[in-house]
């Protein structure tokens, strides 16, 4: 009998692509999304491809009463928790909204998971919880001193999860992403947001004339004055989630892993690479400067490779 996984934020970019991989690997999906930033269409496409009986869709927020879902989906064995507000810049203008959705939403979800004995959790976290790098590459023991409300909301949530792992029966893996890019190789699913919060997607759209491209980074202390980030393909992230839930289902210990390519590229390097690959000059205009950006971050992937057996294998533009 297939194992059933609750996926919060299943209609989003990473959530939908990870759901696709889970379905390919024999899991059934309980999809939870309030569709404020995610979409129903990817989930409907998954139903068409894999069968409606294998993916149930619930339109709810993690801050709402979830008991009805858990009572109906009694054979759920774990949860992949993607649902969150994710813009660093927006978090600085709507801090209470970010704490409500990211921290309180997870607290409510955890309460329901424990109540209904769904004790395996994969939590979608972020490198923004580290803040400015004290050393590079960033490993899992690097101090967490966020410089944005988004990073703070995720860091607070990590601490709550770890306490529940210590005091209750919660089993967890925390996965901290660096900057995500890419799509399924056949184009079946990808990043549908317009505009996307992700640089590489917006640069490609700008090069193809789909929408205008704006530079929003603050000037920082790097060689070209633009922030340096670690870009990891979404299919690699999806594979990490599959490996992480399987890791917990065989009884492995609670853990946390940084997920990146292990190298950094600046914003302007990405823009120039997109121009070179597409053969198109991107018209660059200056947008509102983002708040809460760290200058330079990229991941140490040593622990993920040694313990989880994961490393980034997909080829990106850079």
Q: How confident is the model at residue 302 (pLDDT cuts 50, 70, 90)?
A: very high
188 touches 21 (CB < 8 A): no
Rg (CA), the chain: 19
pLDDT higher than threshold 60 for residue 317? no
Per-residue model confidence as pLDDT tens digits over 116-135:
999 999 999 999 999 999 99
- Tell me: pLDDT of 49 over 80: yes
Before 272, cis peptide (omega within 30)?
no
Average pLDDT over residues 80-85: 97
Phi, psi of 293 (to 5 degrees): -85, 130
Here the tokens at position 55 are: 């993916």
CA-CA distance, 231 to 101, in Å (whole number)?
25
Of all residues in the chain, what percent carry a pLDDT higher than 90? 78
pLDDT score recorded for residue 35:
95
Predicted local confidence at residue 286, as pLDDT: 85
Give yes or no for a contact between 23 and 46, defined as CB atoms under 8 angstroms apart. Answer: yes
Residue 32 and residue 9 in contact, taking contact as beta carbons nearer than 8 Å: yes
Say what the pLDDT of residue 170 is.
98
Phi first, then psi: what are they for 117, rounded to 5°?
65, 35
Residue 316 confidence (pLDDT) above 60: no
Q: What is the mean pLDDT of residues 163-178?
A: 97
Question: 137 or 207: whose pLDDT is higher?
Answer: 137
Tell me the C-alpha distance between 89 and 150, whole Å. 8
Q: Which of 13, 98, 150, 177 is catalytic?
A: 150
pLDDT of residue 315: 59
Eight-state DSSP code of residue 100 = I
Instruction: Report d(CA 240, CA 301) in Å as an integer.
Output: 12
| Among 102-106, 108-112, 214-218, 225-229, the least confident range | 214-218
List pLDDT tens digits, range 7-38.
999 999 999 999 999 999 999 999 999 999 99
Name which of 144, 148, 32, 172 is nearest 98 in CA terms.
Answer: 148
- Residue 144 pLDDT greater than 80, yes or no: yes
Q: How confident is the model at residue 229 (pLDDT cuts 50, 70, 90)?
A: very high
pTM beyond cutoff 0.85: yes
Q: Which domains does the chain have, with CATH numbers?
A: 4-181+231-260+300-308 (3.40.50.720)
> Average model confidence (pLDDT) for the chain?
93
* Interval 288-299: pLDDT, tens: 888 777 789 999
Question: What is the pLDDT at residue 212?
Answer: 85
**Catalytic residue status for 150:** yes
pLDDT > 70? residue 50: yes
């Amino acid at each position: 009998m297939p194992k059933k996984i609750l996926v919060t934020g299943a209609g989003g970019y990473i959530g939908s692509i990870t759901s696709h991989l889970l379905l390919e690997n024999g899991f059934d999906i309980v999809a939870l999304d309030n569709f404020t930033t995610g979409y129903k269409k990817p989930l409907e496409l998954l139903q068409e491809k894999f069968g409606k009986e294998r993916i149930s869709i619930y339109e709810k927020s993690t801050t709402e009463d979830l008991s009805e879902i858990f009572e109906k989906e009694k054979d759920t064995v774990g949860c992949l928790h993607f649902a969150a507000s994710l813009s660093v810049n927006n978090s600085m203008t709507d801090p209470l909204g970010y704490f409500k959705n990211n921290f309180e939403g997870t607290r409510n979800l955890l309460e329901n998971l424990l109540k209904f004995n769904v004790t395996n959790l994969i939590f979608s976290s972020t490198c923004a919880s580290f803040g400015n790098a004290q050393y590079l590459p960033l490993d899992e023991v690097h101090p967490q001193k966020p410089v944005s409300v988004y990073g703070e909301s995720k860091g607070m949530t990590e601490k709550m999860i770890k306490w529940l792992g210590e005091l209750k029966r919660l089993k967890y893996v925390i996965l901290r992403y660096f900057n995500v890019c890419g799509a399924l190789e056949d184009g079946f699913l990808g990043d549908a947001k317009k505009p996307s919060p992700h640089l590489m997607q917006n640069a490609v759209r700008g090069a193809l004339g789909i929408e205008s491209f704006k530079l929003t980074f603050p000037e920082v202390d790097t060689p070209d004055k633009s922030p340096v980030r670690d870009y990891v393909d979404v299919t690699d992230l999806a594979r990490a989630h599959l490996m992480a839930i399987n890791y917990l289902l065989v009884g492995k210990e609670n853990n946390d892993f940084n997920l990146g390519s292990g190298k950094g590229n600046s914003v302007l390097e990405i823009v120039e690479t997109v121009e070179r690959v597409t053969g198109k000059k991107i018209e660059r205009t200056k947008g509102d400067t983002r708040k809460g950006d760290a200058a330079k971050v990229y991941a140490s992937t040593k622990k993920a490779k040694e313990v989880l057996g994961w490393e980034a294998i997909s080829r990106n533009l850079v």
